[in-house]
Structure 1
Amino acid sequence: MQNNRYVRHSISALALAIAGQAGAFELNAGDYQAELYGYARFNASYDIDEDIGISTRAGAFSAINTGADEDNEATGYFSADAVQTRLGVRASSPEGVKVVLEGDFRPGTLRLRHGYGEYNGVLLGQTWSNFNSFVGNTKVLDFDGLAGNAGLQGRVAQARYTTGAFSVSAEEPITNFLEGAGATVGGKQGLPTLTARFEQAAGGLSYSAAALVQEVGYDTGTVDDSIVGYAAFAAAKMALGESLTIQGSVSYTDGANSYLYRSGENFGAEDAYIRGGDLESIAGYGGTVGVGLDLGAGSSINVGYGLVTVDWDDAEADGAAVADKSETNQNLMANYLWSPVKNVMMGVEYGFFKRENVNGDEGDANRILFAGQYTF
């Protein structure tokens, strides 16, 4: 009988929430609380001189033509989709247990973004990597954002403990290396990736710093090797008065380029390469800088620039097939955002993307992105 009463209370609460306040549909049954949240999102892109749009109409470094191929690029390409649309549920129990379940439709089918529980600072499940921060990120419409944003900028399965501003985690490893003729192979997952992060705010300053260690290994049954990779970042945002902010981040990796955001063909580059049966680490670095200006009346202007570079010199000297690998990725985004009414966002953004390969070939692309978002 208790369960039946709980279901009836939940259904009644849902009906009331739908007729209630905007921002989220609340469900309350006794001391249990839950809310349904999300948004509908429309993205449209116009690629001026080369088609580099992927799902959510984000720009992809992997789609940029380089060298002689840059002369054969498509021009004036338009496309649109709504796969960024998102739906989630947050719930909490009287004992303080919190549960989040969230999904979206990228690249065109429902996928899990977040699925975790949390109690007394202990989090288990899938959510943003602990080696991640949004503190230094500039507001952009491009879903994949600036090269060099701090940390993974993605979600992984993990066990995390947080106390105050400090958090540590053991996470699902993300490793890969070069094998043979430049083929990328997933690394052996012998140990979890370990991370630590500190994030705090004081007055108009917000800041974050994190470090990571991981094992990169392989084992064919007859030959095996492993190395230790590590990464670190620092990010900060400063409010200069009531309307202007400046923000940015710096990152360094060695044997952990999977966590150097947008450093590879589009996301993380390889962590290592094989030389005579031994793994050799590959290093990289990156950073971002941006400004945001609040114009009032729900509108703002934001400009951000990001760059990442991977050091392929040793791999190239040892004969690895890296000539066509992306050595430096950089992009710039400038947008105007406005909110005509509560829970509605519109925006238009100019994006410039540039890629330079190890062999010196390079290419760039210019694009315009438009977005409309309705949040509940």
Structure 2
Amino acid sequence: MAIRATAAMTVLGLASQAQAFEIQAGDVNADIYGYARLTATYDINEKITGDNSTLAGDFGKVSGSDNEGHFDASATQSRIGVKASLPQDFKITVEGDFASGGNFRLRHAFGEYNGILAGQTWSNYNSFTGNTPTLDFNGSAGWAGYQLRTAQLRYTTGGLSVSVEDPKGSLDGTTIVVNGDEVDTDKDTMPAFTARYEGSADALSFAVAGLLKQNAYENEVNDTDDTAMGYGMFGAAKFKASDMVSIQGALNYTDGANAYLYQSGSADAYLDGEDLETISGYGASIGTSLSLGNGRSVNLTYGMVELDVENDGDEETRSNIIANYMWTPVKSVMMGVEYQYWKTETKGGDSEDANRLMFAAQYNF
């Protein structure tokens, strides 16, 4: 087997040129790629680090606590993957990281042939077109679609792609107690269906997508059940104003499909008596990137989500502002510092916020 440096990879929406290792064995060509990364954070107010170990911010942790000043460092975001090309244009990708407490976590595992993709990868109801680069693993609220991966069957032709996917989401009020044990009565009765189109014209890149899913529950104890359809749609765009400046953003609306409303933290529907009532919401983000030359850039983004909630005490709005400076001294190394501001607000007007700082050093191969 001959090993040599070859290709490039994209990490966190950044077009970071990195050297992969190509292994040639018979008719199989395989690229091994990944990165090692250190992330360090200082939570100025309360600690809002999420439950995983990447040190990403979490809206659910913004509570107004007076327990100030928290430092953390982690390397668990580091990742490794393999892309293999076989005869007759058949391709396989398997990739994982260590974000699950240092244990290996599967991110991507899929095959591709003749426009057909099968396996787990980014949801088709997703786009990175309008995303502004952040150091934070979770990034900005209001990004377009489901910014995670799911099992799916997808077909792509040109800029159009359609998919049948494992549905995501949750319901409120459908948990019952049977013999002292909590039992979830919600269920998936059909897959999620998505369609997306991506294109470009001169300095403009864009993406639009739609999604349809069904929410359902069945309570066998009192013989009740109901279903409610959910849907979503988004648009995302990036405009390159010059060689130095770009402006990008997204707008996303969902009703009964809030798992696809990025960082909303909301259920798709709730049980009102014996009927399911869907919850709607929208998200938006806007950002700009400024290239300073010599591998240096400044990025600023604002994102928010707002839900159509009923009660004054219910969380209605989540928003964050993220600003960073990134430096790529050589093509395989990225370092950066970032300021983050996180805020939540109820329908009644009560709000909490938190500030934090982040540093990252990433070495790609």
SS in 2 for 1:56: coil
Q: In the alignment, does 2:48 pair up with 1:43?
A: no
Distance (Å, rounded) in 2 between the aligned partners of 1:200 and 1:143: 26
Q: CA deviation at 1:204?
A: 1.2
Q: Give the structure 1 partner of residue 331 of structure 2.
A: 342
Deviations, residues 165-189 of structure 1 (Å, cap 9, x unaligned): 0000000011211106999968411
Deviations, residues 283-322 of structure 1 (Å, cap 9, x unaligned): 0001000000000000000000000001012xx4xxxxxx
Distance (Å, rounded) in 1 between the aligned partners of 2:174 and 2:125: 30
Q: In the alignment, does 2:91 pair up with 1:98?
A: yes
Q: Which moved more, 1:221-230 or 1:28-37?
A: 28-37
Q: Give the structure 2 partner of residue 17 of structure 1.
A: 4
Q: Which residue of 292, 303, 308 maps to 1:306? A: 303
Q: CA deviation at 1:342?
A: 2.2
Q: CA deviation at 1:74?
A: 1.3
Mapped contact 1:146–1:331 kept (Cα < 8 A): yes
Q: In the alignment, does 2:142 pair up with 1:141?
A: no
Q: In the alignment, does 2:76 pair up with 1:78?
A: no
Identity of aligned residues (%): 50
Extract unaligned runs of 5+ from structure 2.
9-17, 177-181
Q: Aligned AA for 1:60? A: D
SS in 2 for 1:342: coil
Distance (Å, rounded) in 1 between the aligned partners of 2:7 and 2:118: 32
SS in 1 for 2:99: coil
Q: Which residue of 102, 105, 110 maps to 1:111? A: 105
Deviations, residues 111-157 of structure 1 (Å, cap 9, x unaligned): 10000001001000000000000000001100001000000000000
Q: Give the structure 2 partner of residue 227 of structure 1.
A: 228
Deviations, residues 41-65 of structure 1 (Å, cap 9, x unaligned): 1100001111112321111111111
- List aligned pairs for 1:150-229, cutoff 5 A: 150-179=144-173, 187-221=186-220, 222-229=223-230
Q: In the alignment, does 2:269 pair up with 1:272?
A: yes
Q: In the alignment, does 2:335 pair up with 1:365?
A: no
Q: CA deviation at 1:107?
A: 2.5
Q: Which residue of 26, 50, 68 maps to 2:22? A: 26
Distance (Å, rounded) in 2 between the aligned partners of 1:325 and 1:231: 22
Distance (Å, rounded) in 1 between the aligned partners of 2:71 and 2:148: 27
Q: CA deviation at 1:324?
A: 5.1
Q: Aligned AA for 1:43? A: T
Q: Aligned AA for 1:356? A: E
Mapped contact 1:176–1:186 kept (Cα < 8 A): no
Mapped contact 1:195–1:211 kept (Cα < 8 A): yes
Q: Compared with structure 1, are the counterparts of its residues 191 and 343 closer, same or farther at alpha carbon in structure 2 (3 Å cutoff)?
A: same
Distance (Å, rounded) in 1 between the aligned partners of 2:149 and 2:206: 21
SS in 1 for 2:187: coil
Q: Which moved more, 1:178-187 or 1:41-50?
A: 178-187
Q: Aligned AA for 1:33? A: N
RMSD of aligned C-alpha atoms? Answer: 2.1
Distance (Å, rounded) in 2 between the aligned partners of 1:337 and 1:252: 31
Distance (Å, rounded) in 1 between the aligned partners of 2:244 and 2:6: 35
Distance (Å, rounded) in 1 between the aligned partners of 2:185 and 2:346: 22
Q: CA deviation at 1:225?
A: 0.4
Deviations, residues 2-49 of structure 1 (Å, cap 9, x unaligned): xxxxxxxxxx22xx3379996101011343211100000110000111
Distance (Å, rounded) in 1 between the aligned partners of 2:7 and 2:95: 22
Distance (Å, rounded) in 2 between the aligned partners of 1:19 and 1:307: 39
Q: In the alignment, does 2:319 pair up with 1:330?
A: yes
Q: CA deviation at 1:326?
A: 2.5
Q: Compared with structure 1, are the counterparts of its residues 184 and 358 closer, same or farther at alpha carbon in structure 2 (3 Å cutoff)?
A: farther
Distance (Å, rounded) in 2 between the aligned partners of 1:239 and 1:209: 18
Mapped contact 2:218–2:226 kept (Cα < 8 A): yes
SS in 2 for 1:125: strand
Q: Give the structure 1 partner of residue 246 of structure 2.
A: 245
Q: Give the structure 2 partner of residue 9 of structure 1.
A: none
Q: CA deviation at 1:273?
A: 0.9
Q: Aligned AA for 2:32? A: L
Deviations, residues 254-309 of structure 1 (Å, cap 9, x unaligned): 01111000011xxxx11111112010111000100000000000000000000000
Q: Compared with structure 1, are the counterparts of its residues 184 and 348 closer, same or farther at alpha carbon in structure 2 (3 Å cutoff)?
A: farther
Q: Compared with structure 1, are the counterparts of its residues 295 and 185 closer, same or farther at alpha carbon in structure 2 (3 Å cutoff)?
A: farther
